[in-house]
Structures are given as structure tokens and as C-alpha cells.
């Protein structure tokens, strides 16, 4: 019998923690402060949602342990770098992240800037260093990661977010922003996890895309609900910040109850998309549930 989801996810989180520890430069190597700060912000925290998605998709397509650890490490490093830079004074100016002082608070702004820059390079290195994925597929994976991280993905969404502070976005515009800002990296986590196993047919890729789009959007809707309803201690970051910053959210556009209903609908859409994969997609289904039902 397959282990319980909670046991599986804890095992993956432990494996990701171990892999990240091995992929990051040792704190004892020069330059010490940079390496120490990279480890401070990357290790010992985080829900590891992107790695969990990669492992769940990888399990479905028979990915080996090294390839999966590299995909998970790479997407998490990109995610962590984006948090470090987003928290800086010139962006969101946040002092708390994952329950700890942010990098520019614990160290200084120059270090935070460099930590993010270095983590991005390290992410591409960790992925490209794979020796078990055939080169042609690995090149495709590097390309997809770069697209998801760049101006047609995460950074583009971040730029739209910055440009929209104080504006009234409609639901379509808000959705487009989030598809780029968080959706692109969630989606690529699923696709890269699958590609760590084997090449995908167009139908398989389409099913995973539909799943990822629903999960990505659900993730953001739930984030907005939690930002409006939970406290900072539970979130491990400053709660109520979006409203304080006058940023458009699902809660501000749709209201609280409709936002919760939307998240639930998206959870069901995600399940439906996985129908072609049968029981083997159980972990991806459970992750959709986790993302919608989480409390932080």
C-alpha cells in the first residue's frame, strides 16, 4: 500500500532539504557571507510546494532520484531567489519570511541582492549538471525553466504586479498577472518533474497544463484569502499586506466567500484534468487538495 500523503510529503521535504544542502556551496567556502546567507534563506523552511509538485509529477512518469532532486532543487532556488528580491526595501519591503528575518534584515541589502542573483545562476547549474537525463531533453528543460523564470513568466508577472499598484484591475487582468507571477513556476515544476522521467505526448502535456493552471490559480486565490484572514504568526510572513499596500486581490475583487468557492471549483478542475492518468496521479490530486485546504 502507498504511504499516507502526509508521510510521503514529509519524506519529499526531507529529501529536498538534503538535496538543497548538497547543491548549495558550503558555508565554509569563500565568500563565506554570501554562502552562509544563501543557506540561511534556502534551508530549514518553506512548504516546498514546487518540489512537491515536481516529485508528484515525476512519480507518474518514472523519474529517477537524481533527476528529480535536481528539478526540485532548481525550481525551489528560483522561488527562493524571487522571495529574497521581492522582500527588499525597493520592492515589498518585508522584514519577515518563513518566520525568520528576511535576508536584507538579517544581513544587508547588498547581500540580499547577491544572494538572489547567485541562487538564480545556481538553479540553472543544478539542472544542467544532471547526468541521468538525456541531453536533448535536458536542453528542453533548461529552456522551459528560463522561460518560466523570465519576462514571459515570473519576472514578467512581478513587473505587471508592480505596475498595477493603486490601479483597479479586473478579474482577467488579475488572473493574467498571477498566471505569470506564480503560475509559470508552479506549472514548470510539474512539467519538469514529468520530463525528468520521460518525454511527454501532446495529450499528456495538455493534461498536466490544465492541472497546473487550475492549481496555480487556486494557489493564488487561497493566498489572497489567507492574507485577508490569517495572522502573521501563522503565515510566517506579514499578513494583511496586500490590503495595506492597496494591491488588487481576489478577495478585494470577488469578496471572501466567492473566493473560497472559486478555490474549491479550481480544486475540482485540477482533479478532472488528471482523469487520464488514473490512480497513479494520486499525489498530484492530494497536492491540489493541500494547496486549497492549507492554513498558511
Secondary structure (3-state) at 96: strand
Cα separation, 215 vs 211, whole angstroms:
6
Residue 149 or 263: which CB sits closer to a copy of itself? 149
Query: Quick one: which of 9, 158, 189, 212 contacts a copy of itself (CB under 8 A)?
Result: 158
105 near a copy of itself, judged by CB under 8 A: no
Binding mask 161-200 for a copy of itself (x = CB under 8 A): -xx-------------------------------------
Residue 173 CB, shortest distance to a copy of itself, in Å, is: 10
101 near a copy of itself, judged by CB under 8 A: no
Residue 37 or 222: which CB sits closer to a copy of itself? 37
Cα separation, 135 vs 65, whole angstroms:
17
Binding mask 8-47 for a copy of itself (x = CB under 8 A): -----------------x----xx-xxx--x---------
Residue 208 CB, shortest distance to a copy of itself, in Å, is: 21
251 near a copy of itself, judged by CB under 8 A: no
94 near a copy of itself, judged by CB under 8 A: no
DSSP string, 97-164: ETTEE-HHHHS-HHHHHHHHHHHHHHHHHHHHT-SSS-HHHHHHHHHHHHHHHSTTTHHHHHHHHHHT
Residue 14 or 129: which CB sits closer to a copy of itself? 129
Q: Select the span of 56-64, 155-163, 203-211, 216-224 touching a copy of itself (CB under 8 A).
A: 155-163
Residue 108 CB, shortest distance to a copy of itself, in Å, is: 7
Query: Quick one: which of 4, 6, 132, 151 contacts a copy of itself (CB under 8 A)?
Result: 151
Query: Quick one: which of 121, 167, 244, 257 contacts a copy of itself (CB under 8 A)?
Result: 121
CA–chain centroid gap for 94, Å, is 19
The residue written with cell numbers 545562476 in the block is 121
Burial of 7 (0-12, 13-18, 19+ CB in 10 A): exposed
The CA angle 154-157-161, to the nearest 5 degrees, is 135
Closest CA to 15 of 69, 57, 62: 69
Helix (H) or strand (E) holding 232: helix 232-235
Residue 200 CB, shortest distance to a copy of itself, in Å, is: 17
Cell numbers standing for residue 238: 506579514
Closest CA to 222 of 180, 181, 266, 186: 266
Residue 176 or 271: which CB sits closer to a copy of itself? 176
Query: Quick one: which of 5, 47, 105, 147 contacts a copy of itself (CB under 8 A)?
Result: 147
204: left (phi over 0), alpha (psi -120 to 50) or beta: alpha
Q: For binding to a copy of itself (CB under 8 A), which residues are involved?
A: 25, 30-31, 33-35, 38, 81-82, 85, 88, 90-91, 108-114, 116-118, 120-122, 124-125, 128-129, 134-136, 138-139, 142-143, 145-147, 149-153, 155-156, 158-160, 162-163
Amino acid at each position: 500500500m502507498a504511504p499516507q500523503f502526509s508521510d510521503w510529503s514529509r519524506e519529499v521535504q526531507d529529501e529536498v532539504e538534503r538535496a538543497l544542502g548538497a547543491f548549495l556551496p558550503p558555508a565554509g567556502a569563500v565568500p563565506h557571507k554570501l554562502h552562509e546567507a544563501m543557506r540561511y534563506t534556502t534551508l530549514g523552511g518553506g512548504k516546498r510546494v514546487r518540489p512537491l509538485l515536481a516529485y508528484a509529477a515525476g512519480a507518474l512518469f518514472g523519474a529517477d532520484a537524481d533527476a528529480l532532486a535536481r528539478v526540485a532543487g532548481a525550481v525551489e532556488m528560483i522561488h527562493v531567489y524571487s522571495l529574497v528580491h521581492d522582500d527588499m526595501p525597493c520592492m515589498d519591503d518585508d522584514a519577515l519570511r518563513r518566520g525568520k528575518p528576511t535576508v536584507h534584515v538579517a544581513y544587508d541589502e547588498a547581500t540580499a541582492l547577491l544572494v538572489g542573483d547567485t541562487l538564480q545562476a545556481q538553479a540553472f547549474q543544478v539542472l544542467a549538471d544532471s547526468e541521468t537525463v538525456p541531453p536533448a531533453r535536458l536542453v528542453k528543460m533548461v529552456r522551459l525553466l528560463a522561460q518560466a523564470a523570465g519576462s514571459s513568466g515570473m519576472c514578467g508577472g512581478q513587473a505587471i504586479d508592480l505596475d498595477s499598484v493603486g490601479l483597479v484591475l479586473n478579474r482577467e487582468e488579475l488572473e493574467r498577472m498571477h498566471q505569470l507571477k506564480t503560475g509559470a513556476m508552479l506549472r514548470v515544476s510539474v512539467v519538469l518533474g514529468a520530463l525528468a522521467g520521460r518525454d511527454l505526448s501532446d495529450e499528456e502535456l495538455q493534461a498536466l497544463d490544465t492541472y497546473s493552471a487550475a492549481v496555480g490559480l487556486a494557489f493564488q486565490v487561497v493566498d489572497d484569502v489567507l492574507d485577508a484572514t490569517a495572522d502573521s504568526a501563522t503565515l510566517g510572513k506579514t499578513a494583511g499586506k496586500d490590503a495595506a499596500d492597496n494591491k488588487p486581490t481576489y478577495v478585494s475583487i470577488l469578496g471572501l466567500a466567492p473566493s473560497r468557492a472559486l478555490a474549491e471549483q479550481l480544486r475540482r478542475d485540477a482533479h478532472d484534468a488528471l482523469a487520464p492518468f488514473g490512480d497513479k496521479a494520486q499525489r498530484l490530486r492530494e497536492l491540489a487538495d493541500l494547496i486549497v485546504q492549507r492554513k498558511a
